[in-house]
């Protein structure tokens, strides 16, 4: 496994030059574009790591998975999907287009419109502090904190998300206070994780929501099924279809450079590579996952061997 990860890293590095760090949140542009790391945690809790797997970076959109789990557990399926669909949008993560033109509801919880809607459900139900504690638990990482600099940087540059939030309010979808919902959404995006923490969350989801060692249930089984399915169809934004063909592992990316990948019943994979492709996915990360999927036979529709 260690050799496979080192090889994945070498393959990924070839693509870094073609990507760029996100800069629309100025603080993210300060990341080292050449950082790259991959961590695998297996169901027996064997941990393999190559490259920059202990570097802290912000979780960004991967927090949408955690917030959706919390919302499903607190509000239930019917309430969560009363004002939100579960279809891929085919548009950029921060698009307003279809929300205004084609649909009254956000397409899914993995794009910003959906995640701000989710934050709206949660703002009166759960404190940010409790959400942070839950993130530490499901990632099995007590070191997760909110990155104040990234939070402030995004808050100072969130006109687009604010526009989405007010559009949601105008359509009667976001019923909670707009600014409070936006604030909770951006706080969750600012959680600092590592490739290891993402692999930790990955193995919890891969094994049905229980702590792999203690067997303690961390995530409701039904919520696990729902988030993995939505990750498969919508987790990589408008790159989700091609990613499903090439990689075939339910995954979620963030513009901080992280990817969470959940290889069913086998392993959690966490990636850090802040150079992004045009769709906002880690450019090297996608190539590394494609390699891992082929080499370890992780595609969910892999041919029998
Ligand atoms: N905080 C980011 C935003 O709202 C998250 C987006 C992402 O990771 N794709 O724009």
Q: What mean pLDDT is predicted for residues 118-139?
A: 97
Tell me: the pLDDT tens digits for 24-42?
999 999 999 999 999 999 9
**Would you call 61 a catalytic residue per the annotation?**
yes
Q: Choose one of 27, 94, 237 to mutate for the ligand 1 pocket test, by most ligand atoms within 8 angstroms of C-beta.
A: 94
Q: Choose one of 21, 27, 59, 61 to mutate for the ligand 1 pocket test, by most ligand atoms within 8 angstroms of C-beta.
A: 61
| Whether 244 contacts 234, CB under 8 Å | no
Which residue has the CA at smallest separation from atom 2 of ligand 1? Answer: 60
Q: Is the pLDDT of residue 117 over 80?
A: yes
pLDDT bracket for residue 228 (50, 70, 90): very high
| Whether 198 contacts 270, CB under 8 Å | yes
Q: Is the pLDDT of residue 98 over 80?
A: no
Residue 4's pLDDT is 98
Tell me: the pLDDT tens digits for 161-185?
999 999 999 999 999 999 999 999 9
Q: Is the pLDDT of residue 102 over 80?
A: no
Round the average pLDDT of the chain to a whole number and report it.
95
35 versus 100: the higher-pLDDT residue is: 35
Tell me: the pLDDT tens digits for 242-269?
999 999 999 999 999 999 999 999 999 9
- Ligand 1 atom showing the smallest separation from residue 61 Cα: 8
Tell me: the pLDDT tens digits for 42-62?
999 999 999 999 999 999 999
**Would you call 251 a catalytic residue per the annotation?**
no
Among 74, 190, 189, 79, CA closest to 126: 74
- How far, in Å, CA of 88 to CA of 265, rounded? 25
- Ligand 1 atom showing the smallest separation from residue 94 Cα: 10
Residue 305's pLDDT is 66
- Whether ligand 1 lies within 6 angstroms of the CB of 94 is answered as yes
**Alpha-carbon separation of residue 23 from 54, 93, 232 (angstroms):** 23, 15, 27
Tell me: the pLDDT tens digits for 11-22?
999 999 999 999
């Amino acid at each position: 496994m260690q050799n496979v990860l080192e090889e994945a890293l070498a393959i990924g590095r070839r693509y870094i030059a073609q990507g760029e760090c996100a800069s629309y949140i100025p603080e993210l542009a300060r990341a080292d574009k050449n950082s790259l790391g991959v961590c695998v945690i297996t169901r027996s809790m064997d941990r393999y790591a190559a490259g920059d797997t202990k570097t802290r970076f912000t979780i960004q959109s991967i927090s949408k998975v955690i917030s959706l789990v919390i919302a499903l557990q607190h509000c239930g399926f019917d309430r969560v999907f009363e004002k939100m669909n579960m279809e891929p949008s085919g548009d950029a993560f921060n698009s307003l287009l279809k929300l205004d033109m084609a649909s009254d509801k956000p397409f899914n919880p993995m794009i910003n419109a959906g995640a701000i809607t989710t934050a709206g459900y949660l703002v009166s139900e759960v404190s940010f502090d409790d959400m942070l504690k839950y993130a530490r638990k499901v990632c099995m990482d007590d070191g997760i904190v909110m990155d104040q600099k990234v939070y402030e940087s995004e808050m100072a540059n969130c006109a687009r998300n604010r526009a989405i939030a007010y559009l949601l309010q105008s359509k009667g979808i976001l019923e909670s206070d707009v600014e409070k919902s936006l604030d909770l959404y951006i706080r969750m995006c600012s959680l600092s994780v590592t490739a290891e923490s993402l692999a930790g969350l990955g193995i919890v989801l891969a094994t049905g929501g229980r702590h792999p060692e203690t067997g303690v249930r961390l995530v409701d089984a039904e919520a696990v099924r729902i988030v993995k399915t939505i990750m498969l169809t919508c987790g990589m934004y408008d790159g989700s279809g091609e990613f499903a063909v090439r990689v075939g592992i339910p995954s979620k990316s963030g513009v901080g450079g992280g990817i969470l990948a959940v290889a069913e019943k086998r392993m959690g994979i966490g990636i850090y590579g802040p150079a992004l492709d045009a769709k906002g996915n880690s450019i090297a990360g996608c190539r590394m996952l494609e390699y891992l999927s082929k080499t370890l036979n992780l595609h969910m529709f892999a041919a029998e061997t």
